Amino acid sequence: MGSATNRDPARRLNDASSLAGLLEFRPRPAVVLVFLTLMVAVVGWRIARDTGARRVDVLAREAIGLFDAAPPAGAAAAPPDAAEAGKRFRALSGVPVDFPPDDADFVPVEVRRETFGNRPAASLRFRYAGEGYLLVVSARDRLLGTPSVAAFPEGSFVSGERNGRSFVLWEREGAVCIVVSDADVAQAFDLVRRLFI
């Protein structure tokens, strides 16, 4: 005798629509779903790895490298005052940054064109109350690549220490700004809030 399996399509539809069919294990769709989930997770991990915290770390290391680099031999004379340094800095960076004109502790040392994060940037070496600082500003897209999404909210700061140097990083008006110093993080953060915000 033949087997007792039911090959009637009408009866199979009724069986498939029952609640018992929800509990039935189907290996092919489960394997496909697991594979798709892993693919989405790997792609998401790679995107997150290449942006955000990793990108901030790369920018901080690059700015610290600029801070540690010795000025070239025969460097240009220091700008005469904060107003002149501000004009030259704006011309190089394309970003309006005002320096304190009447603060005796703020002494510009050198304004230079730099490459920062593979983009053109302007840097200002300055001294404030005897401490050396470097400000780097790069007019660019946001860290995540689109103008509508920032790596962190406008007005927020990322600060930290690398290799004995402190840094404060923030975004403003389509530009990435970072200050690097030998001073501690709290002092650098306070200086950024007072002078550049």
Burial of 123 (0-12, 13-18, 19+ CB in 10 A): buried
- Closest by CA position to 177, among listed 162, 163, 159, 164: 159
- pTM of the predicted structure, to 2 decimals: 0.66
For the chain, domain boundaries: 9-46, 55-195
CA 7 to chain centroid:
61
- Closest by CA position to 124, among listed 174, 181, 49: 181
Element (H, E) at 47: helix 27-50
Tokens at residue 84, please? 């002149």
**How high is the pLDDT of residue 148?**
42
Could you say which architecture CATH assigns to the domain 55-195? 2-Layer Sandwich (3.30)
Give yes or no for a contact between 142 and 171, defined as CB atoms under 8 angstroms apart. Answer: yes
Regions of the chain short of the pLDDT cut 50 = 142, 144, 147-153
**How high is the pLDDT of residue 196?**
82
3-state secondary structure of 106: strand
Tokens at residue 197, please? 């915000």
Tokens at residue 79, please? 């700008």
Beta strands in the chain (DSSP E): 106-116, 119-128, 131-139, 157-162, 165-172, 175-181
